[in-house]
Every structure is written in structure tokens, then in C-alpha cells.
Structure 1
Amino acid sequence: MVWQREGFETHEGEVGVLLADGSEPGPVFFDLGSGAYFHESTDWWVYDGSLRRPTATATRGRCACGWRGERTVPLDWQEVGSVGRDAYDVSGPERDWEAHMDDVATRAVPLPDDVADLLQTLRERLDELVDDEPVVVLRTAEKLDAIVADYGPLAARYIAGDSIPRPRLAEALGTTEKAAGSRLTHYTYLS
């Protein structure tokens, strides 16, 4: 179960687990037979202690950006066994991740209202057209690509010229430092 919020794709959230000593376990590896590939998982429910896996004692929210929820929720494996992992209540960690995302969204640079309204109107109109007029939607995408190609590199040059530190840029964009750097590089060399 992965949580996502539109506009903040690098901030995927999920249920994280803690062991009895308070540490966060690494991924669990599954040997699916012969070969060099081993499947790995960090899904909360694989830490049930079976097959020499670590036993998680608590859950908490976690985000791909590195954020970890401060609040922990005890993990009751008997209840997981009786209700099933899909029905087990993990709403606490999800609420904590949502609060983290509210904070990320608050710190991100807001779009001017008129730009946000234009983008929302365009999205709604394209949604109306895509089934009956896919060529029109593709042509619109081409026009949007041209606008991005004009203004993305210009904005990237201004940002580079201002020497905005990566942590500040990442916060302003509502993304991770790695993704902010990738975006800046992408637009710098887009032509």
C-alpha cells in the first residue's frame, strides 16, 4: 500500500515498521528459486517473524523523502492474523504521512491563483476531450511541450544564476533534493 498526493510524486508514503529495539529493519529478501535475482520487500506485513524474518513490534508513517513519523502504533500480529493484512488498521501512520504532506505543500512555492486556475481549467477540458478527440489532446500536449521548452530552460538558468541551494530549491518545489537537481538539469539542457 503506497500513498501518493498529486503534485508531490517523489513523496510516496507507506507504513513503516520498527523492531523491539526501536530500529528500522532493512528489506526482506525472497529467494524465488535458481538465479541471481532475489525479490525484496519493505511492506510492513513481511516483518512477521516467520521464516527467520525480523518481527516488527510497531508501525509508523514513512516517506520516500526520508521522513519518518514520530508517533508509533503497536503492531498486533494476532489481530493481523484474524482480520487479514488488508483489513488491519494502519490509518494512524497514514494520517501522520498526510500531516507531513500538508507541511510539504505549505512550504512549497504556491502557484499564482490565475495560473492554478488556468491549469485546472485546461485539465478539466482535456479530460472532456480525450475520449472523443484524442488528436486534439495530443496537439494540445505538443503546444504545452513547446511552452515548457521555451520557459523551462530560462527558469533553470535564472535559478542557477541565483545559486539557490538544493535543500531550499527542493522545499520550494515540494520534492526531494535529488529530484530537484534532476529537474533543474533536465530543464537546463532541454532544447
Structure 2
Amino acid sequence: MGWQLEEYGSSHEGRAGAVLPDGSEPKPVYIDSGSGANAHSTSEWWAYDGTLGAPKADRVRGSCSCGWRGTSLYPLDWSQVDDADPDDFDLSGPHRDWRLHLADVESRSVPLPVGLADLLERLEQQLSALADDAPLAALKAVAALERTTHRVGRVAAYAAEADEIPWSVVGKALGLAEEDARSRITHYSIRR
């Protein structure tokens, strides 16, 4: 099961990655679902238990969809893995390393001005309270906020495009993969 933060979505989806005894990362394995020619591929750490032709991992590490791989390796004791529920295995080390990776991504992204970050936090608190007390008023406020953010987003997207900022820079600034950064700019560029 992957780890994800809403802010980064699939650009930085983390997971525990299997590591083979020679230090390499195994290729995806195919799991026969029992329905004929259909086989499901996976790179989940628990699939590398040495059964059904899969290689046997002896360690795990944090990994991210952006290509980042943790340098700390954590022993994988298969006698401690519950076949019925491998998610019960302690993956706190790889998860902690992935969270540190996200902190690094955040530190390299464009910071929000402090006053704006505080305002956004207060706005969320007020809207959450309003959703509890007056849900229809909260929906009306959210709709107004969506219109505002889309107008401002369109202006910002046009300005970023006019400045011809390289997609690699845009991605780093937003903490996203280039493709996701392009998608975000396009989303705001489209008139509604």
C-alpha cells in the first residue's frame, strides 16, 4: 500500500521498496489472478517472498514515485510477516525516510508568504467550523473560493507560460513531477 500526501499526489507517492540480497531493486512480478491469461503486476515489497518464481528480498527501504530511493536499508524478516495481512509488518523506518524526502522536496519548493500561509490555515479552520454549523453556507463559501482561486490561478498560469519558465523549474517550484506541473498549469489555463 502506498503513502501519499494530498499536496503532492502521485508525484511523490511513497512505499516500502524491496531490496534483493545483491542490493538491487527487483523488477515487477506478475501475480496470477486465476482468471486465465490475466496477470496482475506489482512492485509491492511483500510480493518478493521467494514463492511462485519471485525473487526473495531481504531488506526494504523507502522509495518514491519520483525515483528517489532511501539509503537506509531495513531487514526483512519473513517470519515476522503475516501472509494474511502483510500491512501489519513494521515499515516505520522506510515511511520515516520517505517523509524526510518530502521535507526535502518542500524545502526546495517555492515557499508561501508567511501571512498567506496563516490566512489559508485560518480560512480552512473557519470553513470547517462553518461546514459543521451551517453546511449550506459553507458550500456557498467554497463555491466562491473556487471561483476566486480559478481566476487567480488562470492569471498565474498565463504569467508562468509567458515567462517561459522551464518545466523542470516549474515542477521543482511546485514540488511536483514535470508532467504534473504541466497538468496543473494547463488546468488553470483553461477557461471555464
Query: TM-score normalised to the size of structure 1?
Result: 0.89
Q: In the alignment, what sits opposite 1:24?
A: 25
More divergent stretch after superposition (172-181 vs 140-149): 140-149
Q: CA deviation at 1:101?
A: 0.8
Question: 1:71 maps to what in 2?
Answer: 72
Correspondence for 1:169:
170
Paired residue for 1:149?
150
Q: Secondary structure at the match of 1:142?
A: helix
1:129 maps to 130
The equivalent of 2:8 in structure 1 is 8
Between the two proteins, the alignment pairs up a number of residues equal to 190
Deviations 1:5-31 (A, max 9, x none): 342223121100122232222323222
Residue identity over aligned pairs, in percent, reads 46
For residues 87-135 of structure 1, give each alpha carbon's deviation from its aligned partner in whole angstroms, at most 9, with x where no partner exists: 4332221121111111011111111122111111111112112234221
- Checking the alignment, whether the CA contact within 8 Å between 2:63 and 2:70 is kept in structure 1 is yes
Structure 1 range deviating more: 39-48 or 172-181: 39-48
Q: Decide which moves more: 59-68 or 19-28.
A: 19-28
Q: Which runs of 4+ in 1 moved over 6 A?
A: none
Counterpart secondary structure, 2:132: coil
Residues 1:53 and 2:54 aligned together? yes
Alpha carbons 2:59, 2:74 under 8 Å: kept: yes
Contact 2:8 2:175 in 1 (8 A): yes
Number of the residue aligned with 1:106: 107
Partner of 1:62: 63
Provide Cα deviations, 1:151-171, integer angstroms capped at 9, x if missing partner. 111111111111111111111
Q: Distance in 1 between matches of 2:7 and 2:14?
A: 14
Unmatched tracts of structure 1, length 5 or more = none
- In structure 2, stretches of 5+ residues that fail to align are none
The separation in 2 between residues aligned to 1:81 and 1:153, in whole angstroms, is 50
Specify whether residues 81 and 186 from structure 1 end up closer, same or farther in structure 2 by C-alpha distance, changes over 3 A only: closer
Do the aligned partners of 2:49 and 2:56 also contact (CA within 8 Å) in 1? Answer: yes
* SS at structure 1 position matched to 2:169: helix
* Structure 2 residue matching 1:50: 3-state secondary structure: coil
Report the secondary structure of 1:152's partner residue: helix
Normalising by structure 2, we get a TM-score of 0.88
Inter-CA distance 85–31: structure 2 relative to 1 (3 Å threshold): closer
Q: 1:28 to 1:157 in 2, by over 3 A?
A: same
How big is each residue's C-alpha offset from its partner over 1:47-104, in whole Å with a ceiling of 9 and x where there is no partner?
A: 101122221122110012111112222322233359x734433222112111111101
> CA separation in 2, counterparts of 1:136 and 1:118?
20
